[in-house]
Structure 1
Amino acid sequence: MGRISAVGYLIALTASVLAGCAESDTAQPVSERSGVAEVRQPRTVSRAPEPDGPPACGDLGVPADSPDCRLRSRDPVGLAFTVRRTTVDGRTDATIEVTGPDGAATQTLAERDIRHPSDPSLRDLDGDGREELIVPLHLATPNTRYAVYHASGAATELRRAGELTGVAIDTTADGYVASTARDAQLSWAVGFWRFADDVLTPVVTARVRLDTDGTRITDSTCTVVDAGGLSDTELPSLVEARERFCTEPVVLRILRG
């Protein structure tokens, strides 16, 4: 009976983490002192009329309804993305045609051997005013693997910055990209990343462990390990890093259940 209750509790906790991510996407701008990244309002750009074509892409992490879909960025550059997928013998390949606001093609992106296809999404992950293209590669339970494409400034071509894995992707007030992954039944790993020269670079990882009596959290711990970028944070040691990153809202969401 206790094991069933624990499983039910874990499902509820995962739903809470995902719900927190969804709320961060729709929240209105707030100050950095609240711990949530400020949402920047994009300026209006001149765009070509929407052509006839595939439907708009759906929600990130939801199985695709159509093999083809399209997206348009709301940032100042205003790129459009047409996603086309083909599946042969259970293997799905995707090509994404990128066009500028004038309708002219700028590049074509490709991802191969996608498992359980889900529609791509656009989000400004680092708060620089440009939206990243997030392409689900392997939709799984509990963690999904994503390819992330990034461009800086007024660039019209995106670069494949790397991959993230987890149940949720968040943005911190300081511009870190946070990927929340479930390691085991009661443990989580929250990776903090930065874009360096258009490449996703790991900084630190916060590891969270929960203890329960089958119905509620009885204890929790958070530790931080250097993922290769601790020296770039200007924090002198892992002790200070723990004080800094274990108090991030994305981590507190797990600790508080």
Structure 2
Amino acid sequence: MGRNSAICTVFAATMIVAGCDNVSGLDTDPPKPAPKTTTSTAAPATTPPAAPTTTVIPATALLPCPDKDSGKPLPDCTLQSSDSADLTFTVRRTGAGDNGTLTVAITTPTGVAAQTITEKGVDSARSRPELIDTDADGREELIIPLATTPSGTRYAVYHATGTATEFTRSGEFTGTAIDYSPDGFTVTSADLPANKGRTHTFWTYESDKLVPAATVEVHTSPKECILSTPTTLSLTPYATNSAARTHFCAQPAATN
């Protein structure tokens, strides 16, 4: 009990002294407010956006078109001319069977699109286009197989001359082989019925159209070469059938 009384006395004295600080007339400074604390927030570090990147996807590289028939379905491919025009021919195939479509895009050496050729109703999986200078003029023709017939393959022929980069569909011919004669005729060959020999047709271009000038038949038995009719002598350098027969029967395509 005595200890609790002493604590109360001290507490009371403390309260009296504290109360004197508020007595009027005393020269005391008012309590200063606590200084404001300013929190400086630094701007977040920024990273400049990365420069946009462009992914360049290269065009699908196509292999060169095969130069032989492998018996397998043919892929899309490219042909490169070896003449002065130096053109690229991109061959693409759609469809199936005899109702396919063959599209050939022709571009110049600088990559400029020159022409697009489309052949429909083609066995696109088997059609193997070729570039052949069939008239010995220094420019290659585009030869597109269309269909197989009992007498050979039927071809579409696209022709260009000089420095032209566009081709004209000059016509069609049918045969089992394509060649040319030294004097500028396109030669197609086919088998005669019953293995009697071979026939060779010599074609020329008139106003960019493919027309037959003469045909010879090389018989195996008896061995002879005859000039078939009709023969358009005006498309040849010869005035008589005899002279035409002598010339065309002596051509490499007819003698090999």
TM-score (norm 1): 0.70
What displacement does 1:178 show? 0.7
Contact 1:62–1:119 at 8 Å: present in 2 too? Answer: no
**Residue in 2 aligned with 1:136?**
145
Contact 2:200–2:217 at 8 Å: present in 1 too? Answer: yes
Contact 2:73–2:126 at 8 Å: present in 1 too? Answer: no
- Please give the alpha-carbon distance, in whole angstroms, between the structure 2 residues aligned to 1:158 and 1:60: 24
Amino acid at match of 1:202: P
**Residue in 1 aligned with 2:182?**
173
Equivalent pairs counted in the alignment come to: 197
- Please give the alpha-carbon distance, in whole angstroms, between the structure 1 residues aligned to 2:126 and 2:74: 10
> Does residue 1:194 correspond to 2:197, yes or no?
no
> Does residue 1:246 correspond to 2:249, yes or no?
yes
How far does the alpha carbon of each residue in 1:106-134 deviate from its partner, in whole angstroms, 9 at most, with x for none? 11101111136231111111111111111
Amino acid at match of 2:210: L
Moved more, 74-83 or 52-61: 52-61
> Does residue 1:98 correspond to 2:101, yes or no?
no
Q: SS of the residue aligned with 2:205? A: strand
Taking only the aligned residue pairs, the percentage that are identical comes to 39
Would the alpha carbon gap of residues 180 and 65 (structure 1) be closer, same or farther in structure 2, given more than 3 Å must change? Answer: same
Amino acid at match of 1:176: F
Would the alpha carbon gap of residues 64 and 57 (structure 1) be closer, same or farther in structure 2, given more than 3 Å must change? Answer: farther
Contact 2:217–2:227 at 8 Å: present in 1 too? Answer: yes
What displacement does 1:247 show? 1.2
Contact 2:151–2:174 at 8 Å: present in 1 too? Answer: no
Would the alpha carbon gap of residues 90 and 194 (structure 1) be closer, same or farther in structure 2, given more than 3 Å must change? Answer: closer
Contact 1:61–1:139 at 8 Å: present in 2 too? Answer: no
> Does residue 1:127 correspond to 2:130, yes or no?
no
> Does residue 1:118 correspond to 2:127, yes or no?
yes
Over alpha carbons, which structure has the higher Rg? Answer: 2
> Does residue 1:77 correspond to 2:85, yes or no?
yes
Contact 1:148–1:162 at 8 Å: present in 2 too? Answer: yes
Q: Which runs of 5+ in 2 are unaligned?
A: 1-57
What displacement does 1:150 show? 0.6
What displacement does 1:183 show? 2.7
- Please give the alpha-carbon distance, in whole angstroms, between the structure 1 residues aligned to 2:185 and 2:202: 6
What displacement does 1:239 show? 1.3
What displacement does 1:177 show? 0.7
- Please give the alpha-carbon distance, in whole angstroms, between the structure 2 residues aligned to 1:174 and 1:229: 16
Contact 1:226–1:238 at 8 Å: present in 2 too? Answer: no
**Residue in 1 aligned with 2:64?**
56
TM-score (norm 2): 0.70
How far does the alpha carbon of each residue in 1:88-145 deviate from its partner, in whole angstroms, 9 at most, with x for none? 4652111111111111111110111113623111111111111111111124566111
What RMSD, in angstroms, separates the aligned Cα atoms of the two structures?
Answer: 2.2
**Residue in 2 aligned with 1:160?**
169
Contact 2:134–2:141 at 8 Å: present in 1 too? Answer: yes
What displacement does 1:146 show? 1.1
Would the alpha carbon gap of residues 79 and 190 (structure 1) be closer, same or farther in structure 2, given more than 3 Å must change? Answer: same
Q: Which runs of 5+ in 1 are unaligned?
A: 1-49, 212-218
Q: SS of the residue aligned with 1:94? A: strand
Would the alpha carbon gap of residues 208 and 152 (structure 1) be closer, same or farther in structure 2, given more than 3 Å must change? Answer: same
> Does residue 1:148 correspond to 2:157, yes or no?
yes
- Please give the alpha-carbon distance, in whole angstroms, between the structure 2 residues aligned to 1:71 and 1:64: 19
- Please give the alpha-carbon distance, in whole angstroms, between the structure 2 residues aligned to 1:229 and 1:69: 39
